Amino acid sequence: MRSGYVYILINHSMPGLLKIGKTTRDSRARARELSTTALPMPYIVAFEVFSESCDILEKEVHARLADFRVVGNREFFRYPLDKTIQLLIQLSAPPSEGNSEYAAVDILDRLVAKCKTDLAPDIVAVRIVQKQDRVWLEVTREEEIAGYLKDQLIKRSDLAFIMGEECDQSFFPPSDSVLENARRFVEEYDPFSIIMTTDLFHEEACKRIDRELNPIYKEGQQTNPLYSSPATDSKR
C-alpha cells in the first residue's frame, strides 16, 4: 500500500468536469504539471484527502462514479463537485495515526461569488485545511516578477483563536468536518469578522466594510479605530 493524496481537480475552461486522481507527492504540484499550454486556464485542487492506501481509494472512487466517467481510459467525470467530495470523505478510512489525518477544500470561487471585488487581487487560492486537531485558513498569494517569474507565498492561519457564541468553543472546531468548516467560513463568517481576523480583503474594501459594519460607527462616533486620520493622530 502506498500513502498519498487523492485529489479532485477542476478547470474553469472545462465547466462541469472533475479530474479525480492520486499522487504520493503534492496535489498542487501535480495540478501545475497537468496545466499545460494546451489549456487556457490552470487546474485547481478543489479538494484533497490523505490516505494510507491512495491507490485503493482512487480505484474505489472511480468505481463508484463509473457511470459518470467521460472517457473510459481518462480520469474525467461529470458529477457534482460537492457530492464527489462527500463520497471521497465517506470512502476514505481514518489513518492509523491520528496526526496523519489531512483534508483540504478550496473556497476561493465561493468567496469571490459572495464578496465580489473585495478580495485582494494577488490571492490565487483560499483553502480550509484540516487535521485531527487543527483547522487552518490557507491563503496563496502570487506575485509576478520581471514579466516571467511568479513567486507564491502560502500562509496558514490557525483558526482556533476565533470563538463561537460559547466563549469556550471554537467557531471552526476540528471535530466538525472540513466541509462544514468551509461552509461556515463562506456562509456564516461575516465581512467585518473577516477584516478583523484575516488579510483576505484589499484596503479599500476593509475601509468600506469598517464604515458600514463597525459598531463604533453605528453609535455615531467619528474616530475609526482601524483607520485613524493623520489629523487625529497628530493630536495624540
Is 222 found in the same domain as 113? Answer: yes
Mean pLDDT by 10 residues, the chain (236 residues): 94 95 94 86 95 95 96 93 95 74 94 94 96 95 89 95 84 95 96 95 95 71 43 37
The verdict on residue 31 lying in a domain is: yes
- State which of 81, 101, 121 marks the end of a domain: 101
What range defines the domain where residue 11 resides?
1-101
Q: String of b and e for 101-121 (b: at least 16 CB within 10 Å)?
A: bbbbbbbbebbeeebeebbee
**Are 51 and 130 contained in the same domain?**
no
- pLDDT, residue 148, reads 84
DSSP state letters, the chain: ---EEEEEEE-TTSTT-EEEEEESS-HHHHHHHH--TTSSS--EEEEEEEETTHHHHHHHHHHHTGGGBSSTTS-EE-S-HHHHHHHHHHHSPPPSSGGG--EEEE-HHHHHHHHTT-B-TTEEEEEEEE-SS-EEEEEEEEEEETTTEEEEEEEEEEGGG-B-SSTTSBSS-TTS-HHHHHHHHHHTS-HHHHHHH---B-HHHHHHHHHHH-HHHHTT----SSS--HHHHHT-
213 and 121, same structural domain?
yes
The reported pLDDT for the residue numbered 234 is 38
Pairing of strands 135-145, 149-158: antiparallel
Instruction: Give the number of domains in the chain.
Output: 2
177 is a domain residue: yes
User: Among residues 42, 66, 101, which one ends one of the domains?
Assistant: 101
Residue 177's pLDDT is 93
Task: From 173, 140, 183, select the one nearest 45 (Cα to Cα).
Answer: 140
pLDDT at 218: 57
Q: Give the residue among 164, 150, 111, 105 at the shortest CA–CA distance from 129.
A: 105
Residues 125, 190: one domain? yes
- State the Cα–Cα distance between residues 157 and 177, nearest whole angstrom: 18
Residues 165 and 203 in one domain: yes
Nine-digit cell at 151?
513567486
